[in-house]
Chains A and B, each alone.
Chain A
Amino acid sequence: KQEVTQIPAALSVPEGENLVLNCSFTDSAIYNLQWFRQDPGKGLTSLLLIQSSQREQTSGRLNASLDKSSGRSTLYIAASQPGDSATYLCAVSLGGSNYKLTFGKGTLLTVNP
């Protein structure tokens, strides 16, 4: 059974700091990995998707890496801003016509002005 763990559960940083969020998964036979952002009481916004054959993806100040063999992914946020405050969720899918996402519990990020 696939399990996804995110560390830390919560993180508070001053504005402008670079930071790394961690995600680990127990079954390395994943199809892809997605990072999402969730604002309080809202739905999920897809940030980055990494296919199993890829090592990293970048979008603006965000960079996500994937190491399938070790079952790890990191989300790097450069020059953090107060607007980045949200919960960040990592999710993996197994593929092979089973595309259900297995989620971690998330990291609650607070960026202080």
Chain B
Amino acid sequence: KAGVTQTPRYLIKTRGQQVTLSCSPISGHRSVSWYQQTPGQGLQFLFEYFSETQRNKGNFPGRFSGRQFSNSRSEMNVSTLELGDSALYLCASSYELAGVYEQFFGPGTRLTVL
């Protein structure tokens, strides 16, 4: 089975621009979560989508948004970029089987805001 894929792998943007990141989950996984990783804050949860609905949300400003499509692929959008948005953005897909819920991560998108 193919793993979680994320595109693009690297992005350079300037302050004030917006960006869209894409995540394709493992086939059959219906849940997609997004995390931000920075050296200072570590890994922080952004949001989770399940069957095209946002199921959970972290403590990030409204500039961060996402959506999920009927094929479970997900996109994350950040508007009005700030320098502090520079980070590695990781997507994870999940399944639940017999009460076991395990998350599998993609390689990430490295976003640099200049």
Chain A residues at the B interface, C-beta cutoff of 8 Å:
31-32, 34, 36, 41-46, 49, 51, 89, 91, 93, 95, 97-106
Contact = CB atoms under 8 A, between A and B. Distances in A.
Name the prevailing secondary structure of the A interface residues: strand
B56 A100 contact: yes
Interface of B: 4, 6, 31, 33, 35, 42-45, 48, 55-56, 58, 88, 90, 92, 94, 99-108, 110
A100 B102 contact: no
Given A41-B110, A89-B43, A99 B48 contact: yes
A69 to B, nearest CB: 20
Name the prevailing secondary structure of the B interface residues: strand
B106 A43 contact: yes
Contacts of A46: 102-105
Which of A44, A45, A104 has the most B CB atoms < 10 Å from its CB?
Answer: A44
8 contacts: A43-B90, A89-B43, A91-B43, A95-B101, A97-B56, A99-B94, A100-B48, A101-B35
